[in-house]
Each structure stands twice: as structure tokens, then as C-alpha cells.
Structure 1
Amino acid sequence: MHDIRLIRENPAAFDAALARRGAAPASDRLVALDERRRATIAEAQAAQTRRNELSKAIGQAKAQKDEPRAQALMAEVAALKAALPTLEADEAALTAELDTALAAIPNLPASDVPPGVDESGNVLVHARGTKPDFAFAPREHDVVGPAIGLDFETGVAMSGARFTLVRGPAARLQRALGQFMLDRLTRDHGFEEVAPPLLVRDEAVFGTGQLPKFAEDLFRTTDGRWLIPTAEVSLTNIVRERILTDGELPLRFAALTPCFRSEAGSAGRDTRGYIRQHQFDKVEMVAIVTPDQSEAEHERMTQCAEGVLDALQLPFRRMLLCGGDMGFTAARTYDLEVWLPGQAQYREISSISTCTDFQARRMNARYRPEGEKATRFVHTLNGSSLAVGRTLVAVIENYQQADGAVAVPTALQPYLGGLTLLEPAA
């Protein structure tokens, strides 16, 4: 959510920042709407002030037994009284219209975000890890996976497209991955583990920016709640409508949850395999910080996610997303892309974003700096560490063996009772 005062003070800078996201200028419309709202507020305030003045004048006229004047003043008061509800209704309507317009505009990109309209404008930051060298032609995960428990056919028969039944060795490996990621965040990086609700209300999804613009990408229950598309929604809303103390920050939360996405805007993309599902597990990390902490926190969180890939010995690269490829609430996003030898390309496995105070304004999440009376909006950050299903895909493709088995990364072996190899089913 944007501050209309800042737009009013520097409309050209606001439009220039939107242009770096590939978005159309919006300041003229917003400022004009705000001027109408402010004019209506001023008119209502003037009418109320005049009404108060007239009430005093009526008392004086009656005290002076000037009945004609008192009657004239009372008639003017009656007219103002009749006009005020209309003015108040106009003000409420204009405020709602302005809030709706502001809520539909994405966050402004940070100064170091490169311009660009799509992923072709993203910038490589670094690449790490050694790509595996196979003595055979590496296969994609949907070829290797069924023998160790990725049951695509049963998942589709049970629930429809983009659902997979994971069983046997693959289910154990997926569970191990989630536990391994969560343990690293809580044990090594100071995140507090949370088991959050998977169903949330409208205001929670509005606060993190999925509503109203992206409602079609979500699943809604019959009682009007939303299935979370990511634990970011639940974790970030922990501080909704709260005023924190300076000493409470930073707050760091982590959760391993199922996530649900309708993928309405992804028709035809990754319909085969386990890359893009309606239901998937993800380890999410969220940080709530002061504005001066957010830059360092963004780098810290990105390194937390990179550390998982390093520990699993999966080659990856970090990309700085251009303005046009970032999510709605992000001011800067790093994507981590893992190497998939079966596809012979890098694929996104994590996005880590700083949202500055954009979500905090939508949630009214604030803090009070030490020694100050006024409050300020917190900064929020979120990222996956990692998408568990995509990490499962990466392990299958990078650790596949010629006979169809899948080796277990060393870091995961303690989570699998010392197992070193997932054997294919007979």
C-alpha cells in the first residue's frame, strides 16, 4: 500500500518508479482523486464549523429576544444538518475509491533493481556448485521419480491435474527435506518455528497483497476463508494491527506447511511432472524488522536459503529480478535457481523478497522507536527455504543413478536412518 502524501509530494518520481516495473503512470489519477476527497473533507469541516457557530448565534439571538433572526439562523442550521450526511457519504465513497486504487498498485522497486519487463531482464549475481557429470544421459524427474514413489497417475485419478501422490522412498525423502530445512532455520539461524493456520480471512490475504488482484490464483472454502498460497500469509499477519517495541525487532518466523495455488495464470506451464502443483510443501521464512535492518536482513535470508542448497550439494545461481519480473509486493527479489540436469536448465526453487513497508501499511503493523512517541511502519521480508517439492525434483535429477536408483545427499542421511540409496521398485 502506498502513502498518498508521498505521491502528492513527488508524483513524477512515483510514476518513474512504476515505469521501472513496466507499469503505467498512476499519479495523475490518484492525486486528482485525493484532491476531490480532500475538498469534500474541507467542505464537510466548514459546514460543521458553521453549524457550531450558528448554534451559538441562535442562543445569542434568543437571549436578545430577536426571534426573526433566531428563526433564520435555525433554518440555516437545518439546511447544513441535511447537507452533512451527503458530504460524509461522499467523503467515505471517495476514501474507499482512493484506497481501492492504491491497493491495486504494486510496490515500487528499490534503486538497485534493474529495469526490464520479464525474466530476460534479470541479472546473474553469482553461481555456485558443480554440475554433476553423468556417464549416461540424465533423465528428467518424471521419468526417474515413479520408480521411487512419485505416483502421477494415482494423484491425477484421485484429485485431477496438478496433483501427485507421493509414496514410499519419495515420501520419506520429501519428509526428510522439509525437516532438514526447518532444522537449519531454527537451529542455526534463529528463526522461531510456527505451526500456523492454513485457512485465513480476507484481511490476512489482503495484508500480504494477494487480494484483491490475485484472487483467481487462490482456493476459497465454502465459508469464505482462503487456503494459504504460502505460509508468508500466516506468518506475516502475526504482527497485523500491532504496535511493537523497538527491542522486539527483528522477529523471524519459519514454518513448514502445505501450500495451495489454483495456478490460474499458469495454463500450459509445467503440466507434466512435479514442478507446478496445486498442493505442495514449502519451508517459509518471514522477518519483521525496522527500516534500517531490512537491507542486511534481505541478504541474510538469501544466504539462509543458499546454505540449504550448498549443504545438499545442488548447483544453483542467484538472480536479481528486474522490475517487471518481481512479485506485486516486492521492492527487491532474489531468485535462487537450481540446476536440473534432466532438463539441462536452471529452474526457480526460491524467491526471497524485501517488501519494505508496503505490506505493513496494508496490515497497519507498526513499531515505536525507543524514546519516541510516534510510531513507524515495520518492514517485512519473506522467502522460501526452500520449496520442498522442487528440492525433491532437484535431488532426484542431480543424484540419479544409471539403474534408476537415487543416491541420498550426505546431509539428509541422518534423517533417513543412515540410508544412502533409494532403490527403484522392482
Structure 2
Amino acid sequence: MLQVATIEKEFDRCVKGLQKRGIEGAEILLKDALTLDEQRKKMQGELDEVLHTSNKLAKEIGLLFQQGKKEQAEKAKTQTSELKRKSKSLGEELNSIELSLNKLLYNIPNIPHETVPPGKSEEDNEVIKLSDDNKPNLGAHKKPHWQLIEEFDIVDFDLGNKVSGAGFPFYKKQGARLVRGMINYFLDKAAEAGYEEVQPPVLINESSGIGTGQLPDKEGQMYHVEANDLYLIPTAEVPITNMYRDVILKEDQLPIKHAGHTPCFRREAGSWGAHVRGLNRLHQFDKVEIVQVVEPSKSYEVLDQMVAHVEELIQSLGLPYRILRLCAGDLGFTSVLTYDFEVYSAAQEKWLEVSSVSNFETFQANRLKLRIKKSDGKKELAHTLNGSALALPRIMAAILENYQAGDHINMPDVLHPYLGFKEIRKS
């Protein structure tokens, strides 16, 4: 959530940033926020004055009774009752204004970093790095992963459809072991990089969804358990970052680095044609997430470190990849700057997104009330960052396609110790 102070001090930058995102009426939207904040401050001032007068009278009443000035004391009591009624009315008005202001601010996205390119969709994203051309030449063995998983009997979509519905596959045999092996490998690499592992819950309350910006922005994309008013998480970022909701951290506690593996759940409303076939888009999938909470002055240095961590993972798997800087129109609601990683799927001859690494600056921290207590006693909002390290289905799809060899599918060398096998063969 944007800070009102930031909107006020950097009004033109905020307007241009929202316009860059394609937000219509950005200037009016931000002016409305400032107007509501002025009303809030005015109402708060009136309420504080009434409460001050009421408290002063309350102290005087006891003295008046002690001095035998009963008539004056009764008059003061009447005034106090009137002030209480007024303070209640002012409090209700103040609460209404604050709710309106927060509702407005909750629906305003973050301001893009100056390096974010203009653009409306993924076609306008900027490729900032392309790995050396090591795309495999599959020759006659060229089969998309949905054919391979059927031939080698390692993923069952029909069974998943029977038990749950489309987008909830069963992983079987060496397919299940491949998923488990990748999870363990990614977690081990995160631990080597200094991330502390946590295994968070996969159900969150509304406050947690608001805290990291999934609500109200992505409400329609999340599974909602109405009976308990809980949401299935779209990513481990949500519960992990919410560990620090309403928390004041000391400087010597930073940086905070967490990694966690969870299943992720996304309704993914939209088309389900050939371009999202097989493992390309699912309602449930596994992902290892890395999250950091850092001092504002260090967040872009940390962002570069997180990008380097994800790049090293993909390189170790021997997959062709590219890194993109997302344009303003494709940038997530809460993000200031996001780098996407895509791996090349040799049989489909297309790029598949497997990771996003983002800096949110103070946007999430402001919602979370996540602050840092400085050595001088002053408090400031922290910066939060997160990245996928990595999302499994599309990585699995790329491995199956790029490493296929006719009657078997080779496995990346780094996964051999985690799998107990070096290749997948038909059973």
C-alpha cells in the first residue's frame, strides 16, 4: 500500500508511475486519497480536542465535589456527557473516513521503478539476458512433455480430473520422485545461500491476504473456503511474509531470509487451449519460494543477489533460459521491479516462465505494519522481496522435453543424488 506521505511528497512521480501502468484517472485517484487524508487529519484533530476537554473536565469534577461546589460539578458532568456523545460521533465519522481511505489505497498498485520499461503486456517485456545458445537438437525424438509423461507413465491427468478436476494431476513412479528430488535440491541450495527453511500453513486468513497484496487485487484467482473464511495460498510468499505482520524488527535482525516449499493453488481463470496444455498451467503445483526482509538501503543489492541465485539454479539444471525485466503493464500489483526467468521448452519451441523475482520496497510492509527500529530509536518501514526458486511443473516439462532421448529421458547431473536414478525409462 502506498504511503500517503509518499503520494504527497512525490505526487508527480506517483501519477506518472500509475499512468505508466495504464491506470486511467491516476491524478484524480491520488488527489482523492490526499483529500480523504486531509479529512482524516481534521477529524482526528477535532476528536483529540474533544477528548482533551473531556479528560480535563473529568479531573475538575472530583475537585469541585471536594470543594462543595455541587452545582458546578453537576454542570461539568452534563458537559462531560455531551462531550462523550460528541466524541462517539466524531469517532464513528473518523472510522468511516479511515475505512474509505484504506479501501482506496488498497486498490492502488505500487509505483514502478524508473528502470521498468513502458508497455501494456508481456510482448513488451525487455529481455536483459539470454543464455548461451544450448537449445538441444531433438531430431526425430522431438515430443512434447504431455506425450512423454503418457508414454513413460509418470503423470496422470485423467486420474487427477476424476478425483479433483482439470489442473490437478497425479505424479507417479519416477515422476513423483522427480518432483520430490527437485524440491529437496532447491531447498538445499537455498540453505547453502543462507535461507532459513520454514514450512508454513497453506491456508491463510483475510488479513494475511491483504498484508501481502493478494487481497483485494487477486480475490477472484484464489480458492476461498467460505465456511472458515480462509484462502488457499497462491504462493508461500504470503504466509512467510506474514510471519512479520505487526512486528518491529531491530537492525541487527536483518536481513531476514526464509525459504519454504508449499503446494500453490490458483484458479487461473481463462482459456485452457493448446498453449496451456499438460504441465504448462495447473490449479495446484509445488514451488520453493525465497523471501527476504531487509533495510531499504540494501534492497536492490539484495534483489540482484536473489536474481543471481535463481539463475544459478537454472544453469545447474542445464536448461536454456532468458531473463526479462517486466514492463509496467505486466508488472504485478505489489511490485516495484520484477525479473522473470523463462526456460526454453525444446519440443514446444516456446519459452516457459518458471520464476519471478520482485522488490516490493515498502508496499507490503506498509500494509503489514512491518517496521525496523533504528539504533537512534526511530522507526521506518522495511523492504520486502521474494522469488520463485523454483516453480516445479514447467521446470519438469522443460527437463522432460530437453533431455528426451527416444527410449529414455536423461536427468540433469545435479539431480542424480536426489533421485536415485539417472534416467527415466518405460516400466
Q: Is the 8 A contact 2:141 2:404 kept in 1?
A: no
Is 1:109 equivalent to 2:112 in the alignment? yes
| Aligned pairs for 1:48-63 within 5 A | 48-49=51-52, 51=54
Q: 1-side partners of 2:16 and 2:127: how far apart?
A: 24
CA deviations 1:157-182 (Å, max 9, x no partner) are 22111111110121121211111111
Aligned partner of residue 13 in structure 1, secondary structure? helix
Q: 2-side partners of 1:56 and 1:385: how far apart?
A: 62
Amino acid at match of 2:223: F
The residue number in structure 1 matching 2:410 is 407
Q: 2-side partners of 1:143 and 1:282: how far apart?
A: 23
Is 1:209 equivalent to 2:213 in the alignment? yes
Aligned partner of residue 163 in structure 1, secondary structure? coil
After superposition, the Cα gap between the structure-2 partners of 1:319 and 1:84, relative to the gap in structure 1 and judged at 3 Å, is same
The residue number in structure 2 matching 1:156 is 161
Match of 1:89 among 92, 109, 129: 92
Is 1:198 equivalent to 2:202 in the alignment? yes
The residue number in structure 1 matching 2:426 is 424
The residue number in structure 2 matching 1:285 is 290
The residue number in structure 2 matching 1:3 is 3
Deviating more after overlay: 129-138 vs 46-55: 46-55
Q: 2-side partners of 1:124 and 1:113: how far apart?
A: 12
Cα RMSD (Å) = 2.4
Query: 1:131 Cα shift?
Result: 0.5
Aligned partner of residue 355 in structure 1, secondary structure? strand
CA deviations 1:381-405 (Å, max 9, x no partner) are 10111101111111011111233x2
Q: 2-side partners of 1:168 and 1:382: how far apart?
A: 32
CA deviations 1:87-114 (Å, max 9, x no partner) are 1100011011111111111111112111
Q: Is the 8 A contact 1:146 1:152 kept in 2?
A: no
Query: 1:302 Cα shift?
Result: 1.0
Query: 1:154 Cα shift?
Result: 1.3
CA deviations 1:7-34 (Å, max 9, x no partner) are 1233222211111222231211111211
Amino acid at match of 1:196: P
The residue number in structure 1 matching 2:34 is 31
Is 1:119 equivalent to 2:108 in the alignment? no
Amino acid at match of 1:398: N
Structure 2's unaligned 5+ residue stretches are: none
Q: Is the 8 A contact 2:303 2:385 kept in 1?
A: yes
Q: 2-side partners of 1:96 and 1:139: how far apart?
A: 55
Aligned partner of residue 318 in structure 1, secondary structure? strand
Is 1:99 equivalent to 2:102 in the alignment? yes
CA deviations 1:216-246 (Å, max 9, x no partner) are 2112233222221111112112222222111
Q: 1-side partners of 2:230 and 2:84: how far apart?
A: 41
Moved over 4 A (4+): 49-67, 69-79
Structure 1's unaligned 5+ residue stretches are: none
Deviating more after overlay: 6-15 vs 203-212: 6-15
The residue number in structure 2 matching 1:14 is 14
Q: 2-side partners of 1:193 and 1:109: how far apart?
A: 30
Query: 1:184 Cα shift?
Result: 1.1
Q: 1-side partners of 2:101 and 2:111: how far apart?
A: 18
Q: 2-side partners of 1:414 and 1:56: how far apart?
A: 76
Q: 2-side partners of 1:74 and 1:309: how far apart?
A: 74
Query: 1:75 Cα shift?
Result: 6.3
TM value normalised by structure 1: 0.91
CA deviations 1:183-219 (Å, max 9, x no partner) are 11112x1111111112222222221111122122112
Query: 1:146 Cα shift?
Result: 1.3
| Aligned pairs for 1:208-357 within 5 A | 208-221=212-225, 222-264=227-269, 266-268=270-272, 270-357=275-362
Pairs aligned (count): 419
Query: 1:379 Cα shift?
Result: 0.9
| Aligned pairs for 1:340-419 within 5 A | 340-369=345-374, 371-403=375-407, 405-417=408-420, 419=421
CA deviations 1:110-146 (Å, max 9, x no partner) are 1211111211221111111411112226221111111
After superposition, the Cα gap between the structure-2 partners of 1:81 and 1:207, relative to the gap in structure 1 and judged at 3 Å, is closer
CA deviations 1:297-316 (Å, max 9, x no partner) are 11111111111110110000
Q: Is the 8 A contact 2:289 2:386 kept in 1?
A: yes
Q: 1-side partners of 2:254 and 2:237: how far apart?
A: 18
After superposition, the Cα gap between the structure-2 partners of 1:82 and 1:341, relative to the gap in structure 1 and judged at 3 Å, is same
Q: Is the 8 A contact 1:309 1:316 kept in 2?
A: yes
Q: Is the 8 A contact 2:195 2:259 kept in 1?
A: yes
After superposition, the Cα gap between the structure-2 partners of 1:51 and 1:173, relative to the gap in structure 1 and judged at 3 Å, is closer
Deviating more after overlay: 391-400 vs 6-15: 6-15
TM value normalised by structure 2: 0.91
Amino acid at match of 1:422: I
Q: 2-side partners of 1:190 and 1:71: how far apart?
A: 68
After superposition, the Cα gap between the structure-2 partners of 1:288 and 1:75, relative to the gap in structure 1 and judged at 3 Å, is closer
Amino acid at match of 1:6: T
Q: Is the 8 A contact 1:162 1:271 kept in 2?
A: no
